[in-house]
Amino acid sequence: MTVAPDLRQEPALPAARGPVSAAILGALAASPSKGRLPDLGEELEQADPYGEDLQLTLHACYELHYRGFAGVDPVWEWNPELLRLRAAIEDVFEAALRADTSGADDSSALYAELDALLTEPTDADSVSHHLRDEGTWEEVREYFVHRSVYQLKEADPQAWVIPRLTGQAKAALVAVEYDEFGAGRGERIHAQLFAELMRDADLDPTYGRYVNDVPAVTLATVNLMSHLGLHRRLRGALVGHFAAGEITTAPSARRLVQAIDRLGGGHPACRHFYSEHIEADAVHEQVMRRDVVGDLIAHEPCLTSDVVFGIRATGLLDQRLESNLLEAWREGRSSLRGSTFSAS
C-alpha cells in the first residue's frame, strides 16, 4: 500500500530577499517578547509592490495564519507590531493592484468579465497551451513547482469568506469547497492529490518546500488570495477571484492532461489531478456564476465593483506569472530562482 505524504508538518522559514523580509524573518526567528520590528517606512516607500522583498514578506506574514513555520512561536500570528507592518505592506500591494486594474460599478460590466473568462481565444498564448503543444517534461515539472505554493493548500484561502456570506451564496460556495476538500474523503482532498502529483513527478511534496525556488510573480498570485480572504471588506473581491479560478481551470486542466499524454504518459497521479479538475470545475463554474456571484450581488449590489476587482486582479497577476514562465522557457532558461530546485 502506498503511504501518502504527510502534509501536516510546518515549513522552514524562507531566506530573505531584501531589507523588509530580512527584518521580518529575523524577528520571527526570535521570541515574540524579544523580537523587535524596526521602522521600515523608508524601505516600503522604495520597494516594488510586486517585487521579491515585499511579496516574500507578505507570504511570511500570511503563512502564520496557515501552518506557521518550524521553530516560530505561534504567538507571532497576532502580534500587534507585525500586524501593523503587514497592513502597511498590504496597502502598498492593494494600491498597486487597483492602479493596474480598472473598476466597474454595474452588473453588465461584471457579466461581461465573466463571459470573457468563458471565451477561449483562437490565438491563445498561455502556459497550458505551450505545455500542451511544445513543452518539455522539465518545464512541466517547473510548472508543478510554481503551482505547489498554492495547490498544497488548495481552497484554504477561499474558506475564509464562508462566514462573511449568507443565504444561497454561502450555501453554494460551501458546496464548491466541499468538493475541493474531497467531499468528506481525506484521500481525495485536492491538496492531497497534488502532493501525490508532486511525488509522481519526482518532486518533494512537502508543504512549503519550494517557496525559496519560486519568484515574486508566483508568490503574488497566492498572496492575493490570502489578502482578499483575511479582510471582510474584500469579500466581494474574494468571490470574484474564486469565480475566475473556477471558470478558467477546466480548459487549462484539459490542456495539462494533453501535455502529460503527449510526453508519454506514465505519470498517473499527475494525470489524475488534472482530470479531476476538468470534471469538477466545469460544474463549479456554473455554481459560482449563478448561485454565488448572482446571489451575492442581488442582495449586496454595492459589492459589484469589488467582484470585478477580484476578477481583474486575479487576471493581472496570473498574466504576469504566465509571461514570466513563457519568457524564461523561450530563452532556454529556468523559470525558477537560483539553483536550489531539485527532485526529492
CATH assignment of the domain containing 288: 1.20.910.10
On whether both 116 and 234 belong to a single domain, the answer is yes
On whether both 142 and 277 belong to a single domain, the answer is yes
Low-confidence residues of the chain: pLDDT under 50: 1-3, 5, 343-344
So what's the pLDDT on residue 286?
Answer: 85
On whether both 126 and 215 belong to a single domain, the answer is yes
Domain count, the chain: 2
- List pLDDT tens digits, range 203-212: 999 999 999 9
So what's the pLDDT on residue 3?
Answer: 46
On whether both 90 and 117 belong to a single domain, the answer is no
DSSP state of 11: P
On whether both 76 and 113 belong to a single domain, the answer is no
- List pLDDT tens digits, range 297-323: 999 999 999 999 999 999 999 999 999
On whether both 56 and 187 belong to a single domain, the answer is no
Domain boundary among 64, 99, 134: 99
Domain boundary among 65, 99, 133: 99
Q: Are 154 and 227 in contact (CB under 8 A)?
A: no
How many beta carbons lie within 10 A of that of residue 86, not counting itself? 20
So what's the pLDDT on residue 283?
Answer: 76
Q: Are 276 and 193 in contact (CB under 8 A)?
A: yes
So what's the pLDDT on residue 121?
Answer: 64
How many beta carbons lie within 10 A of that of residue 281, not counting itself? 22
DSSP string computed for 67-135: T--TT--GGGGG-HHHHHHHHHHHHHHHHHHHHTS----SHHHHHHHHHHHH---TT---HHHHHHHT-
On whether both 35 and 163 belong to a single domain, the answer is no
* pTM for the predicted model, two decimal places: 0.93
Domain that includes residue 129, residue range: 107-330
If you search the block for the grid coordinates 507578505, which residue do you land on? 58
